[in-house]
């Protein structure tokens, strides 16, 4: 069985709310840009590998999708 806790259960510890909010905003930003990057990569692969765009068409589509994602997410 678990023993008694060695900390005060009646008075919770203070939270560092500004740091919590900075961490959460960083997480949201990383998630947003990661999603944009993955979508751009998949579009570039679709055009380059499945379409008739070839290697340069895939890279162009990837860059174009990143630019569109940048302006859409600002």
For residues 44-50, give the mean pLDDT: 95
Distance between CA atoms of 58 and 50, rounded to whole angstroms? 10
End-to-end CA distance of the chain: 53
For residues 39-66, give the mean pLDDT: 95
Tell me how crowded residue 19 is: count the other CB atoms within 10 A of its CB: 9
Q: What percent of the chain has pLDDT over 70?
A: 97
For residues 10-19, give the mean pLDDT: 82
67, two tokens: 């630019």
In the prediction, which pLDDT does 7 show?
75
pTM score: 0.78
């Amino acid at each position: 069985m678990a023993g008694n806790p060695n900390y005060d259960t009646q008075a919770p510890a203070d939270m560092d709310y500004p740091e919590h909010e900075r961490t959460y905003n960083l997480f949201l930003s990383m998630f947003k840009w990661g999603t944009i990057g993955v979508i751009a990569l998949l579009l570039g692969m679709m055009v380059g590998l499945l379409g008739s765009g070839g290697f340069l068409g895939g890279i162009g589509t990837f860059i174009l999708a990143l630019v569109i994602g940048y302006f859409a997410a600002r």
